[in-house]
Chain A
């Protein structure tokens, strides 16, 4: 999997094949001459007290992304981590785990991780580094943002240390607006559980950024028919939050502020007190939106919330702060992150820990070149390692002791679940070299705290933050609308800022909105594409100032016109082999805010000297998307309704009766699903689902058992999006079962559609007969391409599928059987909610309910009589065990046309 992404794991010429066939046939007879070679059993010499082979153990720890912690529970089998779940008690997780948290597992086992400490290529020992660094004075430390009390203590003990924090995705707008309006860079505490009217100004709070798992849970809890929230989104490029919106306005990133400003104007008007803020005239179409939105927010003051995205300007953030102040949505606490000095322009001795500034910070090369001594502590020998003298391999977060703070300030513990695989050192260990009497990170917290994963009651208190209205008019100065096409920079949902660029799970994860895998593209709206004369897969040349990149275009319905979204995190040139050659680096084009104006955008043409006149067909680059058609064509595959119409839907009073015993079933609430992909990755990690590579996806061979179908309805310019998780429906009358010639797919008495791999001969009849297209065929033995270390991530409770067999969702049968066995040993029935499928467990918004419908009191049984219930392709009579609850939209009657 690491070496070659192309689809030739078993590449073999015909002649070699015949040779091997002949040899095989010849040697086959010899096999009978020997007995079986005995397999070895290697028990412990001294078994750890808590360890019983065959029984997994769970450890609470934390993942840190952009400086903020998320509580995790890591499952280990025989000492090797195999699955990452959320910590149900941790405020940032509540049991859910996002894609990046889950993908840490594969990152831990990544064979490309650095193993050797060296100084300009000459191997050194860690003790050698410790001895050398004692001489250094006035060291500049460049760290990733963190709130860790341990790191803070260590840094305070280093004499003469100059500390800088840098995140590749940090923009100046938010902090500047907060400092000028609130007097201090406080952190907004967003309470989506209370909010019933939400305006998101280019803020993807449901699927990105710190605390998004908690936001998604809180928001989903308000998507009930009884007391439903309403979400307005203004954004340039569709995001999961935009897809979940009741009203979505696609506007250029620089125009988002204008819409927010108009809403603020209307709210001030409704208040009858302008508070010294001048009125602003606005385009008519947005005026209607702004007026309706403002009235709605104002009517729900006290339960209204405005959120501005990180890449937005200080003006947009000022609008959000002022609106929250007026609407009662404001709540702030001190920032849990440590504050350092501004970024250095010169440093004699520079110690860089993670963050890979050599890739994401164009000025870093000069800084490193001018320094006398540079040290890089990193997971990989990446771009930064090449610019530094010293390199120390860093311990993975799953191998380290430490701590961190969540967005709300909760102190979260980090404990190792495996000894460092490559002898790496954590940031705390490296900092300890500079300190005379460093604290022992392993004994910072009590055993109880470590078992819980966080320090109870350590969340930071809310602080009162009076708004300085006199500072507002200056911040709200009308932004200059510069002509030309705007570039919007988006941290990629898969590789984030490039730190996950070598993670095959994430690379193959279809983008929530475009369904692109492996390589991402420049996203643009249909009208802009027409104007530029480009289509999907045409290569664009985009320049800003002196920098320019070439990147294929991808036309996205619902993308703001006059705007191009560029993914960050690709075009890596480090030692990461999987990431090499994927996409281009857009960081050099990025401005200090998350958007900028392009100086030139053009289509790249072939310059073929052998043709005269030159062939003017554009250069193209193939893009691997997993969904090629996004229109429903009038079919009722996804059902949607509005709050007013829910009650009129017909519904069943009685539950269907199948057989004796538990009858497993699942319900997916489309009102809650945001399409964030956490379930897809949870399924992949739990069920050993292989990665097929970009070529594989191009040939339609992706293996995800659970996919998220995204549909578009309405006009291309202002479409409505729907997301529907699609997995094996476990039909009671399953079309796949009738056609299997070898009985490899059968029906179990508890209602599972079973797939027995050792019986399957790979006719693929079942896949052809499946109306839901959820069966996946193993064209190659993909798992055999995994390195030895990556295989440690495999779940021992699930069979690794061989080449030539069909596979599909099993309802996590291994988890069902485990709980059944447990219940049987304890002499009881399986309790409702005891069995959790992997997708259900990962889901931040709790859209998935699983259980037995034979028990009328179970949560899943109650959803089966919900008026929103429907089955996909119900008319075929397949009687699926997966039911959906129609998505309820809550549109503003004022905006309904």
Chain B
């Protein structure tokens, strides 16, 4: 009786097993690598806003401190986006006829909030607290990058868990802390 399988069949089988193995192990590896790519994390992707707001001008030319507008940063979990009335505090006086500021005036007088596009997004199960970081001497730029040089704000950090952990494990590498950094690497520090 002739052999049921040709000698080549063995080779095919081995190749098939190997391919299956590569597929099984490779797919998750690739997917895990993929979600960490800037395309997914949204880094370096300038976000269009309903108002042409230029941080360069406000921070560098007008020398306004970040917390003038984002005033929750050192007290609250959220840094906060300024209310329209904060814009109008200045722009009721200066550039109050500017075409670019028309949406701001409309918002103010029609009592209709401006709907900004979110740039930095953490998942809902992550509880980040701005106040504790800002008061510890972490400057805004450590995480948000040189916003003062951005015409349109973009995310510069991946905001992945490992990125948080890198800093909490070895903070000295990233900035000069004002007080000893809590080595918070346990889950419930952020996940509640």
Residues of A at the B interface (CB closer than 8 Å) are 35-36, 38-47, 52-55, 746, 748-749, 752, 754, 756-759, 797-800, 810, 813-814, 817, 821, 824-825, 827
Interface residue stretch chosen among B4-12, B17-25, B115-123, B167-175: B115-123
Nearest residue (CB) in B for A36 is: B42
B186 pairs with A746, CB closer than 8 A:
yes
B125 pairs with A748, CB closer than 8 A:
no
A54 pairs with B85, CB closer than 8 A:
no
A797 pairs with B83, CB closer than 8 A:
no
A821 pairs with B132, CB closer than 8 A:
yes
A55 pairs with B76, CB closer than 8 A:
yes
A-contact bits for B25-57, CB 8 A (1 contact / 0 none): 000000000000000001001010000000000
- Which residues does chain A contribute within 8 Å of B86, judged by CB atoms? 47
- Which residues does chain A contribute within 8 Å of B115, judged by CB atoms? 40-42
Q: Which of B42, B111, B118, B125 is most buried by chain A, counting CB atoms within 10 A of its CB?
A: B125
Give me the 4 closest cross-chain CB pairs, A-B, nearest first. A54-B76, A54-B78, A38-B117, A44-B83
Residues facing A in B95-154 (CB within 8 A) are 107-108, 111-118, 121, 123-125, 127, 129, 131-132, 135-136
A817 pairs with B123, CB closer than 8 A:
no
Q: Does B15 contact A (CB under 8 A)?
A: no
Q: Distance in Å from the Cβ of A49 to the closest Cβ of chain B? A: 11
Nearest residue (CB) in B for A55 is: B76
- Given A44-B83, A754-B188, 4 other A-B contacts at CB below 8 A? A40-B118, A41-B81, A52-B71, A824-B136
Q: Does B165 contact A (CB under 8 A)?
A: no
Q: Count B interface residues, CB 8 Å.
A: 44
Q: Does B59 contact A (CB under 8 A)?
A: no
B125 pairs with A758, CB closer than 8 A:
yes
B113 pairs with A817, CB closer than 8 A:
no
Nearest residue (CB) in A for B132 is: A821
A797 pairs with B192, CB closer than 8 A:
yes
B76 pairs with A40, CB closer than 8 A:
no
Q: Does B82 contact A (CB under 8 A)?
A: yes
A-B contact pairs, 17 of them (CB 8 A): A35-B42, A38-B118, A42-B115, A43-B80, A43-B82, A43-B116, A45-B85, A52-B80, A54-B76, A55-B75, A55-B77, A748-B188, A754-B187, A756-B188, A797-B127, A810-B188, A817-B188
- Which residues does chain B contribute within 8 Å of A754, judged by CB atoms? 186-188, 191
Q: Distance in Å from the Cβ of A35 to the closest Cβ of chain B? A: 7
Residues facing A in B158-192 (CB within 8 A) are 179, 182, 186-189, 191-192
Residues of B at the A interface (CB closer than 8 Å) are 42, 45, 47, 71-72, 75-78, 80-86, 107-108, 111-118, 121, 123-125, 127, 129, 131-132, 135-136, 179, 182, 186-189, 191-192
Tell me whether chain B's interface is mostly helix, strand or loop, or mixed. loop
Q: Which of B107, B186, B187 is most buried by chain A, counting CB atoms within 10 A of its CB?
A: B187
- Which residues does chain A contribute within 8 Å of B82, judged by CB atoms? 43
A53 pairs with B78, CB closer than 8 A:
yes
- Which residues does chain A contribute within 8 Å of B42, judged by CB atoms? 35-36
- Which residues does chain B contribute within 8 Å of A748, judged by CB atoms? 186-189
A43 pairs with B127, CB closer than 8 A:
no
User: How distant is the Cα of A757 from the Cα of B191 in the complex, in angstroms?
Assistant: 8
Choose among A45, A54, A759, A798 the residue that contacts B83 (Cβ–Cβ < 8 A): A45
A821 pairs with B191, CB closer than 8 A:
no
User: How distant is the Cα of A748 from the Cα of B190 in the complex, in angstroms?
Assistant: 12
Q: Given the known A-B contacts A36-B42, A45-B112, are A749 and B186 also in contact in the complex, defined by CB atoms under 8 Å?
A: yes
B107 pairs with A45, CB closer than 8 A:
yes
Nearest residue (CB) in A for B39 is: A35
Q: Given the known A-B contacts A43-B80, A52-B76, are A800 and B188 also in contact in the complex, defined by CB atoms under 8 Å?
A: no
B124 pairs with A800, CB closer than 8 A:
yes
Q: Distance in Å from the Cβ of A662 to the closest Cβ of chain B? A: 12
B72 pairs with A43, CB closer than 8 A:
no
- Which residues does chain A contribute within 8 Å of B84, judged by CB atoms? 43-46
- Which residues does chain B contribute within 8 Å of A46, judged by CB atoms? 83-85, 111
Nearest residue (CB) in A for B34 is: A32
User: How distant is the Cα of A52 from the Cα of B86 in the complex, in angstroms?
Assistant: 14
- Which residues does chain A contribute within 8 Å of B75, judged by CB atoms? 52, 55
User: How distant is the Cα of A759 from the Cα of B191 in the complex, in angstroms?
Assistant: 10
B113 pairs with A825, CB closer than 8 A:
no
Instruction: Count A-B contacts at CB 8 Å.
Output: 117
User: How distant is the Cα of A746 from the Cα of B77 in the complex, in angstroms?
Assistant: 25
User: How distant is the Cα of A756 from the Cα of B116 in the complex, in angstroms?
Assistant: 31
- Which residues does chain B contribute within 8 Å of A35, judged by CB atoms? 42, 45
User: How distant is the Cα of A756 from the Cα of B132 in the complex, in angstroms?
Assistant: 22
A817 pairs with B131, CB closer than 8 A:
no
- Which residues does chain A contribute within 8 Å of B182, judged by CB atoms? 824
Choose among A53, A756, A759, A824 the residue that contacts B72 (Cβ–Cβ < 8 A): A53
Q: Distance in Å from the Cβ of A736 to the closest Cβ of chain B? A: 14
User: How distant is the Cα of A798 from the Cα of B113 in the complex, in angstroms?
Assistant: 27
Q: Distance in Å from the Cβ of A277 to the closest Cβ of chain B? A: 63
- Which residues does chain B contribute within 8 Å of A42, judged by CB atoms? 113-116
Nearest residue (CB) in A for B161 is: A758
Q: Distance in Å from the Cβ of A740 to the closest Cβ of chain B? A: 12
Nearest residue (CB) in B for A37 is: B117
Q: Distance in Å from the Cβ of A793 to the closest Cβ of chain B? A: 17
User: How distant is the Cα of A36 from the Cα of B43 in the complex, in angstroms?
Assistant: 12
- Which residues does chain B contribute within 8 Å of A746, judged by CB atoms? 186-187
Nearest residue (CB) in B for A38 is: B117
Nearest residue (CB) in B for A799 is: B125
B113 pairs with A43, CB closer than 8 A:
yes
Q: Distance in Å from the Cβ of B50 to the closest Cβ of chain A? A: 10
Choose among B80, B113, B125 the residue that contacts A54 (Cβ–Cβ < 8 A): B80
- Which residues does chain B contribute within 8 Å of A758, judged by CB atoms? 123, 125, 191
- Which residues does chain A contribute within 8 Å of B124, judged by CB atoms? 799-800
User: How distant is the Cα of A863 from the Cα of B60 in the complex, in angstroms?
Assistant: 59
- Which residues does chain B contribute within 8 Å of A41, judged by CB atoms? 81, 115-118
User: How distant is the Cα of A42 from the Cα of B78 in the complex, in angstroms?
Assistant: 13
- Which residues does chain A contribute within 8 Å of B125, judged by CB atoms? 757-758, 799
User: How distant is the Cα of A752 from the Cα of B80 in the complex, in angstroms?
Assistant: 31
Q: Distance in Å from the Cβ of A236 to the closest Cβ of chain B? A: 45
Q: Distance in Å from the Cβ of A801 to the closest Cβ of chain B? A: 9
- Which residues does chain B contribute within 8 Å of A55, judged by CB atoms? 72, 75-77
- Which residues does chain B contribute within 8 Å of A44, judged by CB atoms? 83-85, 113
User: How distant is the Cα of A54 from the Cα of B77 in the complex, in angstroms?
Assistant: 6
- Which residues does chain B contribute within 8 Å of A797, judged by CB atoms? 127, 192
- Which residues does chain A contribute within 8 Å of B135, judged by CB atoms? 824-825
Q: Given the known A-B contacts A39-B121, A758-B123, are A45 and B113 also in contact in the complex, defined by CB atoms under 8 Å?
A: yes
Q: Distance in Å from the Cβ of A308 to the closest Cβ of chain B? A: 47
- Which residues does chain A contribute within 8 Å of B192, judged by CB atoms? 797-799, 810, 813-814, 817
User: How distant is the Cα of A813 from the Cα of B191 in the complex, in angstroms?
Assistant: 9
User: How distant is the Cα of A44 from the Cα of B45 in the complex, in angstroms?
Assistant: 26
Q: Given the known A-B contacts A44-B84, A45-B84, A756-B191, are A824 and B186 also in contact in the complex, defined by CB atoms under 8 Å?
A: no
User: How distant is the Cα of A799 from the Cα of B124 in the complex, in angstroms?
Assistant: 7
A47 pairs with B191, CB closer than 8 A:
no
- Which residues does chain B contribute within 8 Å of A817, judged by CB atoms? 127, 188-189, 192
Q: Which of B85, B179, B191 is most buried by chain A, counting CB atoms within 10 A of its CB?
A: B191
Q: Distance in Å from the Cβ of A766 to the closest Cβ of chain B? A: 14
User: How distant is the Cα of A797 from the Cα of B78 in the complex, in angstroms?
Assistant: 12
User: How distant is the Cα of A817 from the Cα of B191 in the complex, in angstroms?
Assistant: 11
